Amino acid sequence: MRIIRAKDYEDMSRKAAAVLAAQVTVKPDCVLGLATGSTPIGTYDCLAQWCKEGVLDFSRVSTVNLDEYRGLDHENDQSYYYFMNKNLFSRINIDPAHTHVPNGMEPDPEKESKRYEELIRSLGGIDIQLLGIGHDGHIGFNEPNSFFDKYTHCVDLTEMTIEANKRFFASADEVPRQAYTMGIGTIMHARKLLMIVSGEDKADIAAAAFCGEVKPEVPASIIQFHPDVTIIGDEAALSKIPE
Protein backbone atom coordinates (compact mmCIF):
# COMPACT_ATOMS: atom_id res chain seq x y z
CA MET A 1 0.00 0.00 0.00
CA ARG A 2 1.31 3.38 -1.05
CA ILE A 3 -0.09 6.48 0.62
CA ILE A 4 0.50 9.77 -1.18
CA ARG A 5 -0.24 12.94 0.74
CA ALA A 6 -1.58 15.83 -1.31
CA LYS A 7 -1.71 19.44 -0.18
CA ASP A 8 -5.41 19.96 -0.93
CA TYR A 9 -8.28 18.74 -3.10
CA GLU A 10 -6.84 20.22 -6.29
CA ASP A 11 -3.46 18.63 -5.66
CA MET A 12 -5.11 15.29 -4.87
CA SER A 13 -7.12 15.50 -8.10
CA ARG A 14 -4.03 16.22 -10.23
CA LYS A 15 -2.06 13.40 -8.64
CA ALA A 16 -4.90 10.92 -9.13
CA ALA A 17 -5.39 12.01 -12.73
CA ALA A 18 -1.68 11.51 -13.35
CA VAL A 19 -1.92 7.90 -12.16
CA LEU A 20 -4.85 7.21 -14.49
CA ALA A 21 -3.15 9.06 -17.35
CA ALA A 22 -0.05 6.92 -16.93
CA GLN A 23 -2.18 3.79 -17.26
CA VAL A 24 -3.74 5.07 -20.49
CA THR A 25 -0.34 6.05 -21.85
CA VAL A 26 1.29 2.70 -21.07
CA LYS A 27 -1.71 0.66 -22.26
CA PRO A 28 -3.85 2.65 -24.75
CA ASP A 29 -6.53 -0.07 -24.85
CA CYS A 30 -6.76 -0.39 -21.07
CA VAL A 31 -9.91 -0.94 -19.02
CA LEU A 32 -10.51 1.80 -16.47
CA GLY A 33 -12.79 1.17 -13.51
CA LEU A 34 -14.45 4.46 -12.60
CA ALA A 35 -16.33 5.94 -9.66
CA THR A 36 -18.90 8.67 -9.10
CA GLY A 37 -19.57 11.16 -6.32
CA SER A 38 -18.06 14.55 -5.58
CA THR A 39 -14.52 13.32 -4.85
CA PRO A 40 -13.47 12.29 -8.40
CA ILE A 41 -14.89 15.33 -10.20
CA GLY A 42 -11.58 17.21 -10.00
CA THR A 43 -9.75 14.16 -11.31
CA TYR A 44 -12.11 13.95 -14.28
CA ASP A 45 -11.63 17.67 -14.94
CA CYS A 46 -7.87 17.12 -15.22
CA LEU A 47 -8.27 14.14 -17.56
CA ALA A 48 -10.68 16.07 -19.77
CA GLN A 49 -8.32 19.03 -19.96
CA TRP A 50 -5.34 16.86 -20.85
CA CYS A 51 -7.39 15.15 -23.56
CA LYS A 52 -8.42 18.54 -24.94
CA GLU A 53 -4.76 19.57 -25.03
CA GLY A 54 -3.87 16.42 -26.94
CA VAL A 55 -1.85 14.93 -24.10
CA LEU A 56 -4.20 11.95 -23.62
CA ASP A 57 -5.98 9.74 -26.14
CA PHE A 58 -9.00 7.74 -24.93
CA SER A 59 -10.03 6.40 -28.34
CA ARG A 60 -9.11 2.79 -27.47
CA VAL A 61 -9.98 2.88 -23.77
CA SER A 62 -12.90 0.97 -22.24
CA THR A 63 -14.51 1.87 -18.93
CA VAL A 64 -16.66 0.09 -16.37
CA ASN A 65 -18.34 1.91 -13.52
CA LEU A 66 -18.67 0.66 -9.98
CA ASP A 67 -22.39 1.12 -9.55
CA GLU A 68 -25.75 2.54 -10.56
CA TYR A 69 -28.99 3.30 -8.78
CA ARG A 70 -31.69 0.74 -9.39
CA GLY A 71 -34.71 2.29 -11.08
CA LEU A 72 -33.00 5.25 -12.76
CA ASP A 73 -32.59 5.30 -16.54
CA HIS A 74 -29.74 6.94 -18.46
CA GLU A 75 -31.71 10.12 -19.04
CA ASN A 76 -32.31 10.73 -15.34
CA ASP A 77 -29.98 13.51 -14.22
CA GLN A 78 -29.31 11.69 -10.95
CA SER A 79 -28.23 8.45 -12.58
CA TYR A 80 -24.55 7.60 -12.54
CA TYR A 81 -24.57 7.13 -16.30
CA TYR A 82 -25.70 10.76 -16.62
CA PHE A 83 -23.04 11.83 -14.11
CA MET A 84 -20.26 10.08 -16.02
CA ASN A 85 -21.38 11.44 -19.38
CA LYS A 86 -21.57 14.99 -18.02
CA ASN A 87 -18.30 14.97 -16.07
CA LEU A 88 -16.09 12.85 -18.31
CA PHE A 89 -17.36 10.87 -21.31
CA SER A 90 -18.76 13.82 -23.27
CA ARG A 91 -15.51 15.72 -22.71
CA ILE A 92 -13.03 13.13 -24.01
CA ASN A 93 -12.56 11.21 -27.25
CA ILE A 94 -13.86 7.90 -25.94
CA ASP A 95 -16.19 5.65 -27.95
CA PRO A 96 -19.55 5.70 -26.11
CA ALA A 97 -19.94 2.00 -26.94
CA HIS A 98 -16.85 1.35 -24.81
CA THR A 99 -18.33 2.96 -21.68
CA HIS A 100 -20.23 0.65 -19.35
CA VAL A 101 -22.44 1.29 -16.33
CA PRO A 102 -24.78 -1.23 -14.65
CA ASN A 103 -28.28 -1.13 -16.09
CA GLY A 104 -30.41 0.40 -13.37
CA MET A 105 -33.60 -0.37 -15.30
CA GLU A 106 -33.07 -4.14 -15.32
CA PRO A 107 -35.75 -5.51 -12.94
CA ASP A 108 -34.04 -8.87 -12.45
CA PRO A 109 -31.09 -8.42 -10.02
CA GLU A 110 -29.64 -11.86 -10.72
CA LYS A 111 -29.73 -11.31 -14.48
CA GLU A 112 -28.08 -7.88 -14.32
CA SER A 113 -25.45 -8.99 -11.82
CA LYS A 114 -24.47 -11.94 -14.00
CA ARG A 115 -24.44 -9.78 -17.15
CA TYR A 116 -22.13 -7.18 -15.62
CA GLU A 117 -19.69 -9.75 -14.27
CA GLU A 118 -19.53 -11.42 -17.69
CA LEU A 119 -19.00 -8.04 -19.34
CA ILE A 120 -15.99 -7.27 -17.15
CA ARG A 121 -14.51 -10.68 -17.86
CA SER A 122 -15.09 -10.25 -21.61
CA LEU A 123 -13.03 -7.03 -21.50
CA GLY A 124 -10.12 -8.90 -19.93
CA GLY A 125 -10.63 -7.53 -16.43
CA ILE A 126 -10.04 -4.08 -14.95
CA ASP A 127 -6.54 -2.62 -15.23
CA ILE A 128 -7.02 0.05 -12.59
CA GLN A 129 -10.06 0.74 -10.42
CA LEU A 130 -10.69 4.23 -9.06
CA LEU A 131 -12.37 4.24 -5.65
CA GLY A 132 -13.78 6.70 -3.18
CA ILE A 133 -14.82 5.92 0.38
CA GLY A 134 -18.09 6.60 2.16
CA HIS A 135 -18.36 7.93 5.70
CA ASP A 136 -19.30 4.43 6.83
CA GLY A 137 -16.44 2.85 4.89
CA HIS A 138 -18.42 1.67 1.88
CA ILE A 139 -16.76 1.30 -1.52
CA GLY A 140 -19.03 1.26 -4.52
CA PHE A 141 -22.30 0.55 -2.78
CA ASN A 142 -20.83 -2.27 -0.68
CA GLU A 143 -22.25 -1.24 2.67
CA PRO A 144 -21.04 -2.37 6.12
CA ASN A 145 -22.01 -6.02 6.50
CA SER A 146 -21.18 -9.22 8.33
CA PHE A 147 -19.40 -10.58 5.23
CA PHE A 148 -17.72 -9.36 2.03
CA ASP A 149 -19.93 -9.66 -1.07
CA LYS A 150 -17.93 -11.32 -3.83
CA TYR A 151 -19.63 -10.32 -7.06
CA THR A 152 -21.85 -7.68 -8.64
CA HIS A 153 -25.15 -7.61 -6.80
CA CYS A 154 -28.17 -5.52 -5.87
CA VAL A 155 -27.88 -3.89 -2.45
CA ASP A 156 -30.22 -2.10 -0.07
CA LEU A 157 -28.72 1.29 0.76
CA THR A 158 -28.20 2.22 4.40
CA GLU A 159 -29.75 5.28 5.97
CA MET A 160 -26.28 6.85 6.25
CA THR A 161 -25.73 6.47 2.51
CA ILE A 162 -29.20 7.79 1.71
CA GLU A 163 -28.56 10.77 4.00
CA ALA A 164 -25.18 11.44 2.36
CA ASN A 165 -26.68 11.33 -1.13
CA LYS A 166 -29.88 13.27 -0.54
CA ARG A 167 -28.09 16.54 -1.36
CA PHE A 168 -28.19 15.47 -5.01
CA PHE A 169 -31.99 15.03 -4.93
CA ALA A 170 -34.93 17.30 -4.14
CA SER A 171 -35.45 15.35 -0.91
CA ALA A 172 -34.31 12.20 0.86
CA ASP A 173 -37.56 10.53 -0.23
CA GLU A 174 -36.39 10.69 -3.85
CA VAL A 175 -33.11 8.86 -3.22
CA PRO A 176 -33.38 5.29 -4.58
CA ARG A 177 -33.29 2.63 -1.87
CA GLN A 178 -31.37 0.09 -3.96
CA ALA A 179 -28.42 0.03 -6.32
CA TYR A 180 -26.41 -2.35 -8.46
CA THR A 181 -22.76 -2.48 -7.44
CA MET A 182 -19.59 -4.39 -8.18
CA GLY A 183 -18.86 -6.75 -5.32
CA ILE A 184 -15.79 -6.62 -3.11
CA GLY A 185 -14.39 -9.62 -4.99
CA THR A 186 -14.95 -7.89 -8.34
CA ILE A 187 -13.13 -4.80 -7.10
CA MET A 188 -10.26 -6.80 -5.63
CA HIS A 189 -9.71 -8.59 -8.95
CA ALA A 190 -8.68 -5.29 -10.57
CA ARG A 191 -4.95 -5.32 -11.29
CA LYS A 192 -4.47 -1.97 -9.50
CA LEU A 193 -6.56 0.06 -7.08
CA LEU A 194 -6.49 3.84 -6.76
CA MET A 195 -8.29 5.21 -3.70
CA ILE A 196 -8.87 8.96 -3.38
CA VAL A 197 -10.07 10.63 -0.19
CA SER A 198 -10.62 14.28 0.64
CA GLY A 199 -11.82 16.35 3.57
CA GLU A 200 -11.58 16.36 7.35
CA ASP A 201 -14.92 14.55 7.59
CA LYS A 202 -13.24 11.47 6.07
CA ALA A 203 -10.28 11.42 8.50
CA ASP A 204 -11.76 8.93 10.99
CA ILE A 205 -12.95 6.42 8.41
CA ALA A 206 -9.71 6.73 6.42
CA ALA A 207 -7.69 5.82 9.51
CA ALA A 208 -10.00 2.90 10.29
CA ALA A 209 -9.97 1.60 6.72
CA PHE A 210 -6.28 1.99 5.94
CA CYS A 211 -4.72 1.28 9.33
CA GLY A 212 -7.35 -0.63 11.30
CA GLU A 213 -8.64 -4.17 11.36
CA VAL A 214 -9.75 -5.67 8.05
CA LYS A 215 -13.43 -6.50 8.52
CA PRO A 216 -16.65 -6.38 6.48
CA GLU A 217 -18.09 -3.82 8.88
CA VAL A 218 -15.57 -1.45 7.24
CA PRO A 219 -15.74 -2.61 3.61
CA ALA A 220 -12.89 -0.38 2.37
CA SER A 221 -10.50 -2.05 4.81
CA ILE A 222 -10.24 -4.99 2.40
CA ILE A 223 -7.95 -2.96 0.14
CA GLN A 224 -5.16 -3.55 2.69
CA PHE A 225 -4.95 -7.05 1.17
CA HIS A 226 -4.60 -5.90 -2.44
CA PRO A 227 -1.07 -6.30 -3.87
CA ASP A 228 -1.07 -2.98 -5.77
CA VAL A 229 -3.03 -0.18 -4.14
CA THR A 230 -2.31 3.55 -4.12
CA ILE A 231 -4.11 5.93 -1.77
CA ILE A 232 -4.05 9.64 -2.53
CA GLY A 233 -5.55 11.95 0.06
CA ASP A 234 -5.37 15.57 1.05
CA GLU A 235 -3.86 16.65 4.37
CA ALA A 236 -7.24 16.87 6.11
CA ALA A 237 -8.38 13.39 5.11
CA LEU A 238 -5.08 11.76 6.09
CA SER A 239 -4.60 13.79 9.27
CA LYS A 240 -5.18 10.78 11.56
CA ILE A 241 -2.85 8.43 9.71
CA PRO A 242 0.76 8.33 11.02
CA GLU A 243 3.47 9.50 8.66
From residue 224, give the alpha-carbon distance in Å to each of 35, 66, 146, 228, 240. Answer: 19, 19, 18, 9, 17
- In order, the DSSP letters of 209-223 are HHHS--BTTBGGGGG
The C-alpha angle 213, 219, 223, rounded to 5 degrees, equals 70
**Strand pairing category for 128-131 and 31-34:** parallel
Distance (Å, rounded) from C-alpha 142 to C-alpha 180? 10
Collapsing DSSP to helix, strand or coil, 156 comes out as: strand
Q: What is the DSSP letter of 131?
A: E
- Residue 137 CB contacts under 8 Å (≥ 6 apart), including other chains: 144, 205, 208, 209, 217, 218, 219, 220, 221
* Pick from 157, 163, 205: nearest CA to 181: 157
* Residues that are catalytic: 67, 136, 138, 143
